[in-house]
Amino acid sequence: MRLTLLAFGLLTLATAAPAQDLDAARRLAQQAIIVDTHIDAPGALRKRWADLGEEQPDREFDYAKARRGGLDVAFMSIYTSAAQDADGSAWQVAHQMLDSVEALAQRHPDRFALLTSPKDVERLRQGGRVLLAMGMENGAPLGDDIANVQRFYDRGVRYITLAHSAANRLADSSYAAEKPWNGLSPFGKQVVAEMNRLGMMVDVSHLADASAWEAIRLSKAPVIASHSAFRHFTPGFERNISDALALAIAKTGGVVQIPFGTAFISPEAAADMQARYRARQAFNQHNANLRAQGLPVLDEAAFERDWAPQHPPRTSTLAQVLDQIDYGVKLLGIDHVGIGSDFDGVDGELADGLRSVADYPNLVAGLQARGYSEADIRKLLGGNLLRVWAAVEAAADPARASSGQ
């Protein structure tokens, strides 16, 4: 059946699906606790500020959309790039992003609240608040100081994606051709142990396989993949998780959170993304060589001008997201799959029908149509992640010190 979008982003079937089916999906989305482990609103705010307490037509996350979609817990991505790691600004950028999330909650205490423990979800979401939790995407802001894990914990960070698009001081990236650590660095091993001690979730999304394996092996608490689709659908794309790694995560008691971005769920788009990262790394290395020789470097904008026309945007569908969930449930069991959309983080290249946080009811309707029970849908929407978070918290050192909690 062909899918079209209504103005509010809610899906309707071209062959006129019964209105009561969509109404039932909306009701369940409002009643269930929805936890999305990866929303890049802080990065979008750094590019152009907007008051997310009000509806913003150019944002995929804001309060009005979140309430329409039934979102309860939004993990704000505290993302820093490999370039910011290289120039030493990652620590500063991370704190600025944390400030922006705190400011949002302070500006609209009736609409948002900061969330640092799964124990507080029911209490804080009363009155229709959207709860803002924090996940750090890329461990670069930690620098070389293990004490920074505690400092960011005290600021509310509850998971760390150990690396992103390039190897850092902790781990290797899935995107990079070079893998200097072939696992975790000595510092990365210390960071995993410190995260376990504090009760922070260890996130292996974006990691090279060897790094992910070592993080899973070393962690004494359940591990998550905060926004990783299954490599089964995108052979050769290391950014997506292999079956063996996913099974190892499930064995820890952890969860694999499925993203909605086209680049992760479309084989063609995944191939484009992998090729782009490799080409960009080669371009940067060429410029570094030129610079070392005292020669003029190539214009940075030239790379994008040459790349974009040869690689037009791809499309993806809600059905492809549902296929990912089906595959994960069959592979891992219903208790080990969830959602980590990547809203505001993929330049709008998202599955049709899942364009913003208003659209979770479309996902619910699709799950209902595929025969999932209400209890299982509640697990997928957020119950599984909250269980894992609680287990990580319970495994923490009860004597851990805190300067901010």
Residue pLDDT, tens place only, 76-105 = 999 999 999 999 999 999 999 999 999 999
Segment 187-204, tens digit of pLDDT: 999 999 999 999 999 999
Neighbouring residues of 256: CB distance < 8 A, sequence distance ≥ 6: 224, 225, 228, 230, 241, 246, 249, 250, 328, 332, 336, 337, 338
pLDDT on residue 304: 81
Neighbouring residues of 140: CB distance < 8 A, sequence distance ≥ 6: 80, 82, 84, 85, 90, 164, 168, 169
Structure tokens at 84: 């910011």
CA 106 to chain centre: 24
Residue 4 pLDDT more than 90? Answer: no
Q: What pLDDT band is residue 371 in, cutting at 50, 70 and 90?
A: very high
Segment 297-306, tens digit of pLDDT: 888 788 888 8
Structure tokens at 92: 């500063």
Give the Å distances, CA to CA, from 8 to 32, 66, 315.
21, 12, 20
pTM above 0.85, yes or no: yes
The stretch 104-130 carries a mean pLDDT of 98
Radius of gyration of the chain (CA): 20
Residue 404 pLDDT more than 60? Answer: no
pLDDT on residue 302: 81
Q: What pLDDT band is residue 282 in, cutting at 50, 70 and 90?
A: confident
The label of the residue with tokens 């302070």 reads: 106
Please give the mean pLDDT across all residues of the chain: 93
Counting every residue written for the chain, the total comes to 405
Domain ranges of the chain: 3-264+315-395, 267-312
Residue 5 pLDDT more than 50? Answer: no
Strand 3-5 versus strand 11-13 pairing type: antiparallel
Q: What pLDDT band is residue 252 in, cutting at 50, 70 and 90?
A: very high
Helices (H), 133-205: 147-154, 186-198
The architecture (CATH level 2) of 3-264+315-395 comes to Alpha-Beta Barrel (3.20)
Least confident of 12-16, 132-136, 177-181, 200-204: 12-16
Neighbouring residues of 75: CB distance < 8 A, sequence distance ≥ 6: 35, 36, 37, 38, 39, 133, 134, 135, 158, 159, 226, 340
Nearest to 224 by CA among 203, 239, 246, 208: 203
Residue 157 pLDDT more than 90? Answer: yes
Q: What pLDDT band is residue 51 in, cutting at 50, 70 and 90?
A: very high
The label of the residue with tokens 């064995």 reads: 251
pLDDT on residue 6: 36
Is residue 365 a contact partner of residue 22, using CB atoms and an 8 Å limit? yes
